[in-house]
Structure 1
């Protein structure tokens, strides 16, 4: 029995696809093993969001060769679609597969036998034009992490100035509600309690064969009826696609939790324009206000980019002050990374690395402040916590429905169960102590 290992870089979407590809190998009789267990085949799923994709890919290929010099190395993912020839010339790489080919790698590659002449030649390339119609492959992670990532949408039709994802994943597309509900039921049968919905632009869900057949709200309503899953969490949704109807439904739903992650990217109107974002600051303010009006304890996360070309110090301060005044819970801060074939490459002036680092540091400090304030509001409140298989110094950890991380004394009976708890105090900036575990177990 040949052994295969998968290594995943990047987003939740990549994790869902890697896990699905891993199960495809298992169904064909391969044994899925850890990267360091001398596999016969290494599948490396890459990301292209930052400019160090090349360095990361090369490093992982070197590690694979050190573990098993005769192991077959295949590269998939966004970076593989964008730079296939470049990757194929990395010593040790046997094959590169693009967005349309990665789910067909078991058909395209014959027996995964390493070519002894590959040291002198480049690896095979299986990459189609991203403009060609792409199939949709429903994917989900399983047994890799406590919660499951379920892919509900792929690709993107938004040409944001800084982003290569449309070039790497193609046009927005989805699967039918029926098939996604079927996947959720399959996950429920594995005793998974929480599903995180993921995609490139999940608010744009519903495009099938280039035609809009459903809306994201339609999908949310259907998934809310799936028995066996206790929680659905929306991973990230564009503010212009997060409608009041979605917010109001989540507020009264049976299974969708009070947690939204809403990309902002900039609080400066001028930088939003340069980024080609599809909303203005007032809309973002309205979305946050609406959420807090119907779900006061809702956790709201925000993506923000510092150092986009054209971002002066004054424009950055507009972002800082805007975020400081918003009732949000935490930030994910990214430093702008120049990507070939994007509009932002031609925008001037550029922002120095020093300025980007300083701005990033300021926003990370602000994020800590926001999270501490949000956690402070949760003291002495009761919540349902899903406990993870996570032991550290006699303590176990879990997440409340509104995304507060808590800890309690380890008890193996609690793993993968949901219990009602009361939050007592801070353990540190990003962790809360449980005062008591209330008598009832919500579920096992």
Structure 2
């Protein structure tokens, strides 16, 4: 499961929601304009693809359309997409409403049946400009790695760059492989060329995205792994100041990537781990490929390799058959791994997945456990930020008085604040959710 520009964490569904209006962020906020609006739900890969969609629609000459890029990770994500569709029609009665993304790919009939919807596109068609010139998109088209890349949102300094698509694993709770297909990797040469273009356009930080990043390269000639790709990318684009990796599977981090984590200053000290649970029985029932012990070992190795690193993770609350003791093991994993950024997903049964056929927990229990996990995560973040007081960090200034630290935490500050600049800051305080800093002269 894979989460940046002015985002909102939805505490009801545990999902990060992003929307883009004319290249700028917005969530659940639609305005009557003749240009196209894109509302995005879900992961960083979806956020990246929304930029591809924006370019494809513009290239096709499409105007006055609202494009809803959906997520299928949870039922809550689909419910909120439905709300966005209805709101779009109310606020834009004359606009063309287009629905795409993983939920539309998996359940096209559900969305074509909605009276508000004019067009449904699958995950392949949504990236092609010709789809926005016609009145129908074939839902059965095979998904492929797009040969093109998106420009980042105007006026921003961090860009997402897709390097991998799809997943070959079958976690019992996850429906995404059915929407995204098998794992496919973008060749290193294309990645480097696109990264050079983004840097030339003014981007100071690039975030590598994918469905299963640690599977990178297995389908390419020579089978380069993720660490080798990152090393070659940094060597090919020496002017790139900051590189960030969106999410890693703890079962598959290669030795070269570990070396880069330890010694490459341009690779940001921030690792997000796809953990999902902290109990070995639940991990087995999820068909995850790591144990609790392995997760803790990965976290300890990361901290030993890079003392200033900050760790994040995805955790699912209320997986089928989860007992109170099993749940407490997940809560305890936050402290044992030293997690700072915890993304909580209340379990949501996805039709057709093995987990949907397991004994389910009551929704009240799932919601209560999700709230407890979030509270533990908030306390861990507050402690992590408090521990940073007195230290110094490089901050990418995103807007006047606000930026993002190298280890991912947001920071408000006083001092020179030219957007797009990298400034050395001293941490002088924290409100529990973000840092306060002053520029180091």
Q: Could you say whether these structures have the same fold, taking a TM-score greater than 0.5 normalized by the shorter chain as the test?
A: yes
CA apart distance, 1:344: 0.1
Shift of the alpha carbon at 1:212? 6.4
Show the 5 A alignment for 1:49-64. Answer: 49-64=73-88
Shift of 1:424: 1.3
Instruction: Give the TM-score normalised by structure 1.
Output: 0.86
Using the alignment, how far apart are the partners of 2:78 and 2:426 within structure 1? Answer: 46
Please tell me whether the aligned partners of residues 145 and 165 of structure 2 are also in contact (alpha carbons under 8 angstroms). Answer: no
Q: Which moved more, 1:18-27 or 1:75-84?
A: 18-27
Report the Cα offset of residue 416 of structure 1: 1.1
- Structure 1, residues 343-389: CA drift from partner, whole Å, max 9, x if none? 101112x1112211221122112112211222222121111111111
Does structure 2 retain, via aligned residues, the 8 Å contact 1:17–1:140? Answer: yes
Counterpart for residue 355 of structure 1:
365
| Structure-1 separation of matches of 2:109 and 2:137 | 7
TM-score by length of 2: 0.87
Deviates more, 1:287-296 or 1:248-257: 248-257
User: Deviation of residue 108 (structure 1)?
Assistant: 3.9
2:441 aligned with 1:430: no
Partner of 1:15: 47
Q: Are the aligned partners of 2:280 and 2:292 in contact in 1 as well (CA < 8 Å)?
A: yes
Q: Which runs of 5+ in 1 are unaligned?
A: 31-38, 113-123, 440-444
Structure 2: stretches of 5+ with no match in the other structure: 1-32
Question: 2:209·2:245 contact (CA, 8 Å) conserved in 1?
Answer: yes
Partners of 1:212 and 1:43 lie apart in 2 by 39
- Say whether 1:79 aligns with 2:111: no
Work out whether residues 16 and 150 of structure 1, in 8 Å CA contact, stay in contact via their aligned partners in 2: yes
Runs of 4+ aligned residues of structure 1 deviating over 6 Å after TM superposition are none
Structure 2 residue 127 is the aligned partner of structure 1 residue 127 = no
Q: 1:398 aligns with which of 378, 400, 403?
A: 403
Partner SS, residue 302 of structure 2: helix
Partners of 2:274 and 2:61 lie apart in 1 by 41
Instruction: Summarize deviations over 1:3-59 as a string: whole Å, max 9, x none.
Output: 3222211111111111012123334455xxxxxxxx522222111111034432332
Once the two structures are superposed, the pairs formed by residues 27-42 of structure 1 within 5 Å of their partners are: 27-29=59-61, 40-42=64-66
Alignment partners' CA distance in 1, 2:222 and 2:348: 33
Alignment of 1:31-430 (within 5 A): 40-104=64-128, 106-110=129-133, 124-128=136-140, 132=142, 134-140=144-150, 142-143=152-153, 145-208=156-219, 213-225=223-235, 226-348=237-359, 350-389=360-399, 396-409=401-414, 411=416, 413-426=417-430, 428-430=431-433
Instruction: Provide the C-alpha distance between the structure 2 equivalents of 1:437 and 1:409, rounded to a whole number of angstroms.
Output: 7
CA RMSD of aligned residues (A): 2.1
When Rg is computed on C-alpha atoms for both structures, the one with the higher figure is: 1
Paired residues, number: 407
Distance 1:15 1:212, change over 3 A: farther
